[in-house]
């Protein structure tokens, strides 16, 4: 065979019988020769399907005839000899360098969308979600605040009322509304968190840990101010939408919130706020303490105690009694918070 030739199977378009043929160039024409076959067709009238990986090339001839060839290099030479070229897309598809570059580009684009695009889209979605939806998400998440993970608060009514009154007075001084404050006992350790809508949860264990500071009331107020900051800036909702942005978009577009509510509790209770969210909430805590005329140091002490307890838990490698390790880590207060040293410097800088 000449350099510009290839072998293949010829089908006349009237039967399924295959004829073994040789493809050659004859000037500006394609010659198809084989037992019982001898055709010369202007190459310009031959429609050549795009190459897909190592699949056979298909050459459609006038009148419905077809040639199938696995001699890919030979077909390429025929195409080039006739002065024709595969499209740029086909040539790129057959280049391993292009394929590798495409994979890298897609990976980089996906990473960029995850880091910058997804938060931006999620925040825009959160901005247009009705307040009723946010409240419904919060109510759904509250269903998880039940045994065995959570237990009813064991704090006295007097202790809970004192915390609520102190919090309400500070919020009034700062000109902020009072959210709903729930108390629970959480065997995995001290915690406090905010839910979409207008609900905050404070655990007995956090109150007990605050009692070890020089000013327990101010330490508790600082924690509540932090969580109130999450509510004020809609962090729970924004974080939830970031985690479920596609389903949230679809539900918002279709007006069906039930599919989103179905995932609300586990996503919200396992939410790991971004460091920017945490810094924003820390600034809210300082602002509330300052409005109430309270010192920031007790909150800093409490952060240190929390960090120490977290380190001890990690060293032991065990969850609190009666709670699975996975559940013990579910609401890890420092899961995505800025480093303790950074937080202390920021708190002291703003609280001074």
d(CA 10, CA 19): 5
What pLDDT is stored for residue 321 in this prediction? 43
What pLDDT is stored for residue 326 in this prediction? 38
Tokens representing residue 176 in the block: 């902020």
d(CA 79, CA 277): 60
What pLDDT is stored for residue 256 in this prediction? 57
Give the predicted TM-score (pTM) of the model: 0.59
**What are the DSSP calls for 193-233, one per residue?**
EEETTTEEEEEHHHHHHHTTSS-HHHHHHHHHHHHHHHHHT
What pLDDT is stored for residue 27 in this prediction? 83
53: left (phi over 0), alpha (psi -120 to 50) or beta: left
Mean pLDDT in order along the chain per 10 residues (352 residues): 76 91 89 92 87 80 91 82 68 67 86 79 79 80 84 96 97 94 91 89 95 96 95 86 63 54 50 77 94 94 80 50 40 46 72 54
Q: Check whether residue 167 and residue 108 sit in a common domain.
A: no
Q: Check whether residue 111 and residue 209 sit in a common domain.
A: no
What pLDDT is stored for residue 331 in this prediction? 40
Q: Check whether residue 59 and residue 140 sit in a common domain.
A: no
Torsion of CA 171, 173, 176, 182, to 10 degrees: 10
Q: Check whether residue 148 and residue 262 sit in a common domain.
A: yes
Q: Check whether residue 61 and residue 111 sit in a common domain.
A: no
> According to DSSP H, which parts of the chain are helical?
72-81, 88-93, 96-112, 118-128, 131-142, 157-174, 204-210, 216-232, 235-243, 245-254, 258-261, 264-269, 275-291, 297-316, 325-328, 340-351
What pLDDT is stored for residue 249 in this prediction? 55
What pLDDT is stored for residue 257 in this prediction? 52
d(CA 237, CA 172): 24
Residue labelled with tokens 């919060």:
138
Range of the domain at 60: 5-94
DSSP helix/strand/coil, 165: helix
Domains held by the chain: number: 3
Report if residue 29 sits inside a domain. Answer: yes
Q: Check whether residue 269 and residue 229 sit in a common domain.
A: yes
What pLDDT is stored for residue 137 in this prediction? 79
Report if residue 49 sits inside a domain. Answer: yes
Q: Check whether residue 149 and residue 198 sit in a common domain.
A: yes
Q: Check whether residue 197 and residue 111 sit in a common domain.
A: no
Q: Check whether residue 33 and residue 154 sit in a common domain.
A: no
């Amino acid at each position: 065979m000449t350099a510009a030739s290839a072998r293949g199977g010829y089908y006349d378009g009237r039967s399924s019988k295959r004829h073994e043929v040789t493809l050659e160039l004859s000037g500006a024409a394609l010659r198809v020769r084989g037992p019982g076959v001898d055709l010369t067709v202007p190459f310009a009238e031959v429609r050549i399907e795009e190459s897909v990986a190592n699949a056979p090339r298909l050459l459609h001839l006038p009148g419905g005839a077809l040639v199938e060839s696995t001699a890919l290099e030979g077909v390429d030479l025929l195409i080039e000899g006739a002065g024709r070229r595969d499209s740029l897309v086909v040539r790129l598809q057959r280049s391993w360098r292009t394929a590798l570059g495409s994979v890298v580009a897609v990976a980089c684009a996906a990473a960029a969308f995850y880091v910058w695009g997804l938060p931006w889209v999620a925040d825009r979605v959160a901005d247009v979600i009705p307040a009723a939806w946010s409240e419904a998400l919060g109510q759904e998440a509250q269903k998880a605040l039940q045994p065995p993970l959570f237990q009813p608060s064991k704090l006295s009514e007097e202790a809970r009322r004192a915390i609520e009154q102190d919090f309400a007075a500070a919020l009034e001084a700062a000109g902020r509304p009072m959210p709903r404050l729930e108390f629970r006992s959480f065997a995995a350790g001290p915690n406090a968190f905010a839910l979409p809508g207008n609900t905050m949860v404070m655990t007995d264990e956090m109150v007990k840990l605050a009692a070890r500071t020089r000013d327990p009331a101010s330490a508790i107020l600082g924690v509540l101010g932090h969580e109130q900051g999450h509510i004020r800036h809609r962090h729970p909702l924004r974080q939830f939408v970031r985690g479920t942005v596609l389903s949230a978009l679809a539900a918002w577009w279709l007006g069906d919130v039930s599919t989103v509510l179905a995932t609300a509790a586990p996503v919200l209770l396992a939410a790991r706020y971004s460091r920017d969210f945490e810094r924003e909430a820390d600034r809210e805590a300082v602002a509330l303490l300052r409005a109430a005329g309270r010192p920031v140091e007790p909150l800093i002490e409490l952060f240190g105690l929390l960090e120490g307890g977290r380190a001890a838990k990690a060293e032991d490698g065990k969850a609190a009694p009666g709670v699975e390790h996975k559940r013990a880590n579910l609401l890890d207060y420092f899961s995505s918070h800025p480093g303790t040293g950074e937080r202390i410097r920021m708190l002291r800088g703003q609280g001074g």
